Structure 1
Amino acid sequence: MLYAGTRHRDYTLRVPLAGDLVDAQEAHPQGLVRLVALDLYRRQLLQLGEIPAEAITLELLRSELTEIDMAELERADAELGKRFAPPRPGSSTGAASSTPSSVTATPSPTSGA
Structure 2
Amino acid sequence: MTEHSSKRWEGLSITGELQMGVYYSGLRHKTFTLRVPVAGDLVAAQELHPGAPFQMIMLEVYRRQLLSLGEIPTEAITTELLLGDLTESDLAIIADADAELEKKLAPPSAATPTGDESNTPSSATATG
TM over 0.5: yes
Which of 30, 39, 43 is the matching residue for 2:60? 39
Which of the pair is proportionally richer in strand? 2
What's the CA shift string for 1:17-60, capped at 9, x where partnerless?
Answer: 01111111121120000000000010000000000111000111
Runs (4+) off by over 6 Å: none
Which structure: larger Rg? Answer: 2
- The letter of the residue matching 1:83 is K
Greater RCO (Cα-Cα under 8 Å, separation 6 or more): 1
- The corresponding residue for 1:88 is 109
TM-score, normalising length from structure 2? 0.67
Aligned CA-pair RMSD: 1.5
**Amino-acid identity (%):** 57
Number of corresponding residues: 91
Which of the pair is proportionally richer in helix? 2
- The corresponding residue for 1:14 is 35
- The corresponding residue for 1:52 is 73
- The letter of the residue matching 1:84 is L
TM-score, normalising length from structure 1? 0.75
- The letter of the residue matching 1:80 is L
Instruction: Tell me the secondary structure at the aligned position of residue 12 of structure 1.
Output: strand
Structure 1 alignment gaps of length 5 or more = 93-113
Q: How far apart in 2 are the matches of 1:86 and 1:34?
A: 28
